[in-house]
Amino acid sequence: MDTHMHGTPKRATWLWLSLIGATLLTWGMGTHGAAGTWAIAALAAISFWKGAVIILDFMALRHAPLLWRAITMGWMILVWAVIAIAYLKGLGQ
Amino acid sequence: METTSTSLPHGAAGHPTPAAEPRLAGDLAIWVFIMAELLAFGAFFAAYAFTRANNIELFNAEQAGLDRTAGAINTILLLTSSYFVVRAVQAAELRAARAAANWLLAAIVTGLGFIVVKLGEYAAAFAHDISLSSSPFHMFYLSLTFFHFMHVILGLVILVAMWNNARQGRYGPGNMNGIETGAAYWHMVDLVWLILFPLVYVIH
């Protein structure tokens, strides 16, 4: 059993603090009236990054066979792409 | 995965070198289950996004009535709970059974926090006569969040079982499969929320 599979406590703590910071940032953007396509794009990008941290680091897929990493990251890319297409479709209504 | 434990190369300082062989953390069965769950949530998210695209004004107006602060607090609670589970797995890797159990208990408490906040949100929604049939937005809001809510409850049951095992010292470098399997499920519940929350509560 390799002891590095799940990283170090220090790295996990920094990632967790970054995730909380990103959450507070997007929450602050919302409460200060950030709106429009660019604000939504920033929110989606930050949310995507948070998901990537969960997949690659917390789920430890960074150290998994490529196929599993590709399927899981591919799922998230596909979901956000569908959300983006639907959002842009809605703008044209 | 004990097969690699004796054959790992060691660095100059005598420490094991980082993961030589790629390895899936947890049981293969849970990962097949996670993929099925992600597909189901993905289909749900796509249905929401395209229904919204055809009902922009209705969705924007009713979304404005949701409690985004409660949603943000729940995001922080789930992220923190996931972090505690990571620390529990790391502790188990180092044979620190007591620490692993304590981290799991902290993860259970923060997970319960999510349940309390969500129940408060549902109570407020029902007080305003929001139901599955009150509008397409409310149908999606209630069904999506409740589907996720059920996953949180199942995740908490799994965490309690893991906590019980950790307290009895069942996890360690030679026996990581159980704790890694439960951890993968709990992180999946977090991952789904990280899309559900911005999609349903924020994007307008």
Q: Which string of DSSP letters, residue by residue, matches A13-73? A: HHHHHHHHHHHHHHHHHHHTT--SHHHHHHHHHHHHHHHHHIIIIIS-GGGS-HHHHHHHH
Cα(B64)–Cα(B126) distance, integer angstroms: 16
Tell me B194's DSSP state.
H
Q: Higher-confidence residue: B35 or B10? A: B35
Chain A residues inside the 8 Å CB shell of B32: none
Q: Which fold has domain B24-202?
A: Four Helix Bundle (Hemerythrin (Met), subunit A) (1.20.120)
CB contact under 8 A, A64 and B23: yes
> Both tokens of residue A58?
């917390």
* Model pLDDT for residues A15-71, shown as the tens digit of each residue: 999 999 999 998 888 777 777 888 999 999 999 999 999 999 999 999 999 999 999
User: Would you place residue B14 in the very low, low, confident or very high pLDDT band (cuts 50, 70, 90)?
Assistant: very low
The pLDDT of residue A35 is 74
- The string of pLDDT tens digits covering residues B50-91 is 999 999 999 999 999 999 999 999 999 999 999 999 999 999
Residue of B53, B85, B191 lying closest to A89 (CB–CB):
B53
Closest residue in chain B to residue A20, using alpha carbons only:
B76
Residue A50 to residue B194, Cβ atoms within 8 A: yes
Predicted complex: ipTM over 0.85: yes
The pLDDT score that the predictor gives to residue A5 is: 82
Residue-level pLDDT at A32: 76
C-beta atoms of A64 and B16 within 8 A? no
Least confident of A42-51, B5-14, B16-25: B5-14
Per the model's pLDDT, the better-predicted residue between B14 and B78 turns out to be: B78
Percent of chain A with pLDDT over 70: 95
- Verify whether the Cβ–Cβ distance A90 to B20 is below 8 Å: no
Report A:9-48 residues touching B (Cβ under 8 A). 9, 12-13, 15-16, 19-20, 23-24, 26-27, 30, 35, 40, 43-44, 47
Q: How far apart are CA B196 and CA B119, in angstroms?
A: 17
